[in-house]
Structure 1
């Protein structure tokens, strides 16, 4: 079923990516932010730790590429340096972040994200300040030249599919099951001997890694990175993507990214206060569909399946009842003949 869904997703997105232009770039941005939102969902939806600093790690990954290339490194080397920086930051700040849970974790990740934003904003000699840093060239691998927009878009799609597969593998592994168990009853798992804080730490590192990976793609796709990409607003937007789509689903954040970016690109054309409209929609979904848009879609699909399967089930039930109604009659005939034989005897 997973592969069928992946094939359908590729069939829907590939034509838009191949035509390039505005729509190809729009879908590319959706996929990039979907990777970051899925990483957040892995930590929040399956581990119960909702991060409010995912956009800051997206910016960290992008700046890792931009700063490396500014100092003369090639695109592939810059990608490697950026991944190392992302992992180092996650490994260093992770023990501090996972010491708390609940609202404390939200505030902690927000504070860490604002520290990274402050560094990017004020460290002008490295980050370029408000002007940001340009990325003048993208990696080239044989015939695949990521400087071409269509090649870049399909590379983002490939990384998105690989990321979704990896996160799905993590979720269905014993590690992912233990994360869900911790979210349900951490004290019980600790009593059973699980190192719950270590589990949270590993989940945090995985989440940060996918946020940084999205940042690398963001840098090459946009050709520029500035501190605004990792400010408070963008941290909130990625969190809303995950929550709006549905935490604990992986595919929900993808749908959330599509909805939010469409709101930003299209609703803003027709409605001056589009952010207010988006807020009203978000509040309505949280009140009436707390499981998110993806949860609502799954519920509708199950209801439709029951409606489609009901006539066949009703027919089978009718036939079974008819057969059952005929059985006592035959049994009664047999029993009656047996009684008559006993009387004659």
Structure 2
């Protein structure tokens, strides 16, 4: 080999090394953290832990769940936005934290939409309107009549201000003209406890966290917020049957700081997509009335598709929030 050929070979090898390094898929070098914006016991916690359990072996690292409730999910979200942008800190977001809060909190939001990166949508599911067993109503028509005769007297609990159940109930009030008293809790678990204890009159929540108590007849389900009935409670009608035009679907997904490098987001997005399309995961979701993300022809998700989905949800629910005049002062 001539000196000139040798130098050329070394030069080409040196140029190829960075390209080969860039071609290597991102992999975490430490345990990951999945931050859940609500306390244990609610739907966000339930589904988030299902995701963490399945994500860990895919990344060959533990995925530690951290519950950080407060401010409708904003405390958890801010911790993720401000965390070290190495792909190791993720937010298990919801329709409330990921979309509705921008309208509800306005200038008080601790981050802007562009500071949060979409990783993947995990599931969609209906909310359910429930009443305490002492309430003398058995269906939506009776509930509406009862509420109209007691304007401003009936209390309803939700997982918090700006949560999906809260905005759903405000939309219901806006359409029907009934006035209810909102009692916000720090998550679904505390709200359901108070509803079963009959210390609030009614409540709205995601179907998974409420389903066991509905089946045990500890609370009474009146209507689903979705466009069609849920197979897990086929006898519960949709609210839209009694209130034309009413429809709302809750959703949950994974986000991270927008400062996280693209290779990390793409790898995380691919793994979340694989989880959502797994038949076992889908079967588990179906057990409590939830569905997959269905953002791609294969029924899965991608960071780009979830980003577009979130942007559309922010616009949609921002308008609902403005009409309902919801805000946090």
TM interval, shorter chain, is: under 0.3
Using the size of structure 2 for normalisation, the TM-score is 0.23
Greater strand proportion: 2
